[in-house]
Amino acid sequence: MNQIVYKENLLNCEEIPLKELAEEYGTPLYVYSKNQIVDNYRSFCDLLSGTNHLVCYSLKANANHSILKILAEKGAGADVVSAGEIFLALKAGFTPAKIVFAGVGKREDEIEYALKENIFSFNVESTAELQAISRAALRLEKKARITLRINPDIDAQSHPYITTGLQSAKFGIEASKAFETFQYAASLPSLELAGIHTHIGSQITKAEPFTATAKYVAELVEKLRSAGINLTHIDFGGGYGVQYADAVYHEALPREEKTELPVPSPIDFFGEVLPVLKSTGCFILIEPGRSITANAGVLVTRVILVKENSAKKFIIVDAGMNDLLRPSLYQAYHQIVPVSIDTYEHEKVDIVGPVCESTDFFAKDRIISKTNAGDYLAVMTTGAYGFVLTSNYNARPRPAEILVNGDRVRIIRPRQTFEEL
């Protein structure tokens, strides 16, 4: 069940109208539904319940302490990409033995920190990194558990900026070198070679790239086994897409022009994948980020003014690209709706922020409900890769974050002040 929906004419997060929150806490404002996050996490756990598994939430999607705490308390693991993320995960209560550490450029101090904290595994992306981890483990007289991230050269059919599994990407070890790199890793001291990792991209909306990857992984696990290298786990990564268009419905809203495929649910993504992975007998990890938090969050913004020239009508809002970068960064689509439906009239507009860049826009030539200065708009599906990508560009304080649980409201990050700039 979606937790951010219209009740009558007011867009609610769980039991709370977003309009009330905007009036009380100001805008721009990120608002999250606790129950949506928990439901999303549980749906992955349910799906994998018949197999020995761990769902490692990918912190990069949204690393707010309170959100991390919710997931840590539910027993999730953590997928991290820096020492800072390890620190945040531990602070929020994630068990070190459930933390996996990815990234193409881990510094030696980060490697040492992870070793001292006894994380579950390093997801290793190159031979040079294998050597660095082996050296650090020897120095610290520790054994480092290693998972090799293999780049299977499979097209995730997503945006090029978030496609990671092609040979042209910097990520992972190329497929043609996979076997020999496993053999090399097995020969290095102080390493425990335990698993294989793939992550082919983000916002993947088709099941077939995952199925192809699973088949590739299972074959490689078998080939390694025949050569005497027995892997005990498969980390299948994240990337499960979410639906951005048509995120919320009200009869007064215009029909969304952008029609995505119906985005598969986790069940659809794993339908063919799971039996293949299971057949290996390995422990299965996955690393969803976006699919846990994206639809649990909205960015609420206020219309500062409406400006018209001979070509266009601009709705100028008080959130900018520093508050939500995805549209500027990769032309990402977010549905934008009024928090209070007051009209059935529509108009074609550009929705832009106040930042001094032409790329500071949320929507171009978009048909939305007719809007006036002072209205509040909700930019939907912004719980992932939203706040984490904020900046202080143009000396704009970062927005506040609010967590809603039923009819309870909590500030989980106060709005930045000028003094903090």
Active-site positions read 356
Instruction: Tell me how far apart the alpha carbons of residues 160 and 172 are, in angstroms, rounded to a whole number.
Output: 16
Among 195, 288, 320, 383, which residue interacts with ligand PLP (rule: CB under 6 A)? 288
Based on CB atoms, which residue is closest to ligand PLP, 18 or 37?
A: 37
Token pair, residue 278, equals 């299971």
Where does this chain touch ligand PLP (CB under 6 A) — which range of 57-65, 106-114, 212-220, 325-333? 57-65
Among 77, 165, 172, 239, which residue interacts with ligand PLP (rule: CB under 6 A)? 239
Q: Is 172 in the site for ligand PLP (CB under 6 A)?
A: no
Q: Is 238 in the site for ligand PLP (CB under 6 A)?
A: yes
Based on CB atoms, which residue is closest to ligand PLP, 238 or 327?
A: 238
Query: Residue 55 — φ and ψ, nearest 5°?
Result: -95, 110
Among 18, 37, 70, 79, which residue interacts with ligand PLP (rule: CB under 6 A)? 79
291: Cβ–Cβ under 8 A, 6 or more apart, which residues?
A: 40, 44, 238, 240, 241, 242, 266
Q: How far is the CB of 288 from ligand PLP (least distance, A)?
A: 5
Instruction: Tell me how far apart the alpha carbons of residues 3 and 34 are, in angstroms, rounded to a whole number.
Output: 9
Long-range contacts of 77-83 (CB under 8 A, 24+ apart): 77/120, 77/285, 79/238, 79/287, 79/289, 82/110, 83/107, 83/109, 83/110, 83/113, 83/114
Where does this chain touch ligand PLP (CB under 6 A) — which range of 233-241, 304-312, 375-383, 405-413? 233-241
Where does this chain touch ligand PLP (CB under 6 A) — which range of 39-47, 70-78, 254-262, 289-297? 289-297
Q: Is 264 in the site for ligand PLP (CB under 6 A)?
A: no
Torsion (CA) 200, 212, 43, 246 in degrees, nearest 10: 70
Q: Is 386 in the site for ligand PLP (CB under 6 A)?
A: no
Q: Note if the bond before 28 is cis, omega within 30 degrees.
A: yes
Based on CB atoms, which residue is closest to ligand PLP, 289 or 386?
A: 289
CB of 198 within 8 A of CB of 236? Answer: yes
Q: How far is the CB of 92 from ligand PLP (least distance, A)?
A: 17
Find the binding residues for ligand PLP in span 97-116 (CB under 6 A).
Answer: 102
Q: Is 291 in the site for ligand PLP (CB under 6 A)?
A: yes
Pairing of strands 346-352, 361-369: antiparallel
CB of 352 within 8 A of CB of 360? Answer: yes
Based on CB atoms, which residue is closest to ligand PLP, 25 or 57?
A: 57
Q: Contact residues for ligand PLP (CB under 6 A)?
A: 58, 60-61, 79, 102, 199, 202, 237-240, 287-291
